[in-house]
Structure 1
Amino acid sequence: MPLVAKKTSSHKRQAGGIHALPSGSLRVRVYSGIDPVKKTKMYLEETVPAGPDAWEKAETVRAGLCR
């Protein structure tokens, strides 16, 4: 029987992205589909204010927008 490598983890790509703004705030952006009328891509966006725990809050917001 030939040796076959097993996939040890289910490495999935994360939906959406988090980008730092010049003000220090973070912008969370998630793709939400195509507009049926205009035929353009639509995105949900939310801005998280700057702060010591901004990245954790942004991850929470990203997870909420992905639902």
Structure 2
Amino acid sequence: MAKPDDRSNNVERLQQMVENTQQNIQEANESVQNTDMTSQQKEQIKNKNERREESIQSFQSEIEDEQSYRNNQ
């Protein structure tokens, strides 16, 4: 028998994911500034941070959906 869908902590979990991703972006930017890297390595970090920004947008959209779900319960 499948477990019921427990959405009670989804907003908090998603918000934590946003915060962690923002911290990863910040740390990556600091790493680029404080270490010697090839231009290729810098470009890879830039691309990864762009993907992280896209993830944050997705997380925020999910947070809105979850908030709406909570408000309608």
TM-score, normalising length: structure 1 = 0.29
Higher helix share: 2
Higher strand share: 1
TM-score, normalising length: structure 2 = 0.27
